[in-house]
Amino acid sequence: MISYKELGLVNTREMFAKAVKGGYAIPAFNFNNMEQLQAIIQASAETKSPVILQVSKGARNYANQTLLRYMAEGAVAYAKELGWKRPQIVLHLDHGDTYETCKSCVDMGFSSVMIDGSALPYAENVALTKKVVRYAHKYDVTVEAELGVLAGVEDEVSAEESHYTRPEEVFDFVKKTGCDSLAISIGTSHGAYKFRPEQCTRDPKTGKLVPPPLAFNVLKAIEKNLPGFPIVLHGSSSVPQEYVDMIDKYGGKMPNAVGIPEEQLRKAAKSAVCKINIDSDSRLAMTAAVRKVLAEKPGEFDPRKYLGPARDEMKKLYAEKIVNVLGSANKAR
């Protein structure tokens, strides 16, 4: 049993309380390799922003859960080396699917876990979440739960009203489970193809896809039933057109990639939404930078020569999100 406190990590409790009160959101960036982690820590240290390092199931399969945990421990030391005296870094399990996975993360030093029972019937989601909360809270590890289903491109069903979180359920769910934060569905979705072209309109000037707006009425109703309670948005990449264009220009092909416009995320960050998950945008930044180097210098074979620029591009992206979208800069001085 390793406590995250020994590793210099923090849980989300105080961080979220401050963010809800202060009208900003904490960035939750996924990582599965060293360059990504370096970029996240450099951007957070430079902007003095609290940050959540997320480990998904895919990342655990790709990089190994134990190794990622040690990388997060290293990240705290690295942050201090960069001059960030009191780094506020959370190591969070993204989309934990079983009690056992959550338990093993609590036991190995994660400071926060998500149990995603959103695909289960309501009563089963309550029971599973409650079980995880009971274990995690023994070690002062915070728990994120989920109500409502996010649409993905692979889904046959589109993001209809029926998939949104039902505001009438949230109070009962939080009361019964004791979870510390709640991921909701108001129209965000995972991946770089968040909406099908037929769900979007087209900008007459540029011909680019304009996604449907988020369901702020649902968010408002949730806030009314859970005043001041920390809300989480998954699938909140913006899919910057500059990266999609760069990828296409240097031999890639990503037609109709579309994300959540930043002005909508800015608006959400000012509400009870206090954690915003961003993953795809960093993948796009990395891929765009790697493609550019390899296209321009076909003889290059030193990975540092393309992973280095990729890291710089990701750092730029993370800092831009912190400063211009989430508003979390200077909140962890």
Nearer to Zn ion, 18 or 57 (CB): 57
Shortest Å, Cβ 56 to Zn ion: 8
By CB under 5 A, is residue 194 in contact with Zn ion?
no
Among 69, 130, 163, 234, binds Zn ion (CB under 5 A): 234
Nearer to Zn ion, 44 or 56 (CB): 56
Shortest Å, Cβ 95 to Zn ion: 6
Q: Is 98 left (phi over 0), alpha (psi -120 to 50) or beta?
A: beta
How far are the Cα atoms of 75, 88, 119, 235, 294 from residue 199, in angstroms, in the given order? 40, 39, 23, 17, 35
Shortest Å, Cβ 312 to Zn ion: 26
Q: Exposed/middle/buried for 253, CB within 10 Å: 0-12, 13-18, 19+? A: exposed
Shortest Å, Cβ 230 to Zn ion: 16
Euclidean distance between CA atoms 189 and 150, whole angstroms: 5
Euclidean distance between CA atoms 45 and 82, whole angstroms: 7
From 94, 116, 180, 281, active-site residue: 94
Euclidean distance between CA atoms 149 and 134, whole angstroms: 24
Nearer to Zn ion, 48 or 234 (CB): 234
Residues with Cβ within 8 Å of 267's Cβ and at least 6 positions away in sequence, in order, are: 216
Stretch that binds Zn ion, among 26-34, 229-237, 247-255, 288-296 (CB under 5 A): 229-237
Nearer to Zn ion, 48 or 92 (CB): 92
Shortest Å, Cβ 279 to Zn ion: 8
- 175: nearest Cα among 234, 236, 133: 133
Contact by Cβ (8 Å): 147, 125 = yes
Question: What is the DSSP code (8-state) at residue 258?
Answer: B
Q: Which of residues 270-299 bind Zn ion (CB under 5 A)?
A: none
Q: Which of residues 21-50 bind Zn ion (CB under 5 A)?
A: none
Known catalytic membership, residue 312: no
Euclidean distance between CA atoms 188 and 123, whole angstroms: 24
Euclidean distance between CA atoms 147 and 129, whole angstroms: 11
Instruction: Write the interaction track for Zn ion spanning residues 69-98; mark x where CB under 5 A is met and - where it is not.
Output: ------------------------------
Residues with Cβ within 8 Å of 154's Cβ and at least 6 positions away in sequence, in order, are: none
Nearer to Zn ion, 234 or 311 (CB): 234
Nearer to Zn ion, 87 or 148 (CB): 148
Stretch that binds Zn ion, among 71-79, 82-90, 127-135, 232-240 (CB under 5 A): 232-240
Residue corresponding to tokens 């072209």: 197
Stretch that binds Zn ion, among 85-93, 227-235, 268-276, 308-316 (CB under 5 A): 227-235
Nearest to Zn ion by Cβ — which residue? Answer: 234
Shortest Å, Cβ 193 to Zn ion: 15
Residues within the interface to Zn ion (CB under 5 A): 234
Catalytic sites, residue numbers: 94
